[in-house]
Amino acid sequence: MRLVTPGDSAPASVNKYLLPHETQVITVRRHPAVLMLPVGLVLGGLIIAGVLSNTVASDAGPVISGIWWCWLALLLWFVWRVAEWSVDYFVITNQRMLLTTGLITRKVAMMPLAKVTDMSFKRTIAGRMLGYGEFVLESAGQDQALSAVPYLPYPEQLYLEVCEMIFPNKNPSDD
Domain residue ranges of the chain, discontinuous segments joined by +: 5-30+88-166, 36-83
Contact 85, 150 (CB under 8 A): no
Other Cβ atoms less than 10 A from the Cβ of 24: the count is 20
**Residue 32 pLDDT level (bands cut at 50, 70, 90):** very high
CA–CA gap between residue 20 and residue 163 (Å, rounded): 24
End-to-end distance of the chain based on CA atoms, in angstroms?
26
Cα 40 from Cα 46, distance rounded (Å): 10
Number of H helices, E strands in the chain: 5, 8
CATH 2.30.29 fits 5-30+88-166, yes or no: yes
pLDDT of residue 145: 78
Q: Rounded to an integer, what distance in angstroms lies between the CA atom of residue 136 and that of residue 83? A: 25
Q: In 10 A of CB 36, how many CB atoms?
A: 13
Q: Which residue has the higher pLDDT, 42 or 112?
A: 42
pLDDT digits (tens, 9 = 90+) for 67-109: 999 999 999 999 999 999 999 999 999 899 999 999 899 999 9
pLDDT band at 1 (very low <50, low <70, confident <90, very high): very low
pTM score: 0.80
Whether residue 45 is predicted with pLDDT greater than 70 in this model: the reply is yes
Average pLDDT over residues 123-141: 89
pLDDT for residue 49: 93
Do 84 and 32 touch, CB atoms closer than 8 A?
no
The secondary element (H helix, E strand) that includes residue 57 is none
Percent of the residues in the chain that have a pLDDT greater than 90, as a whole number: 43
Helix (H) or strand (E) holding 89: strand 89-93
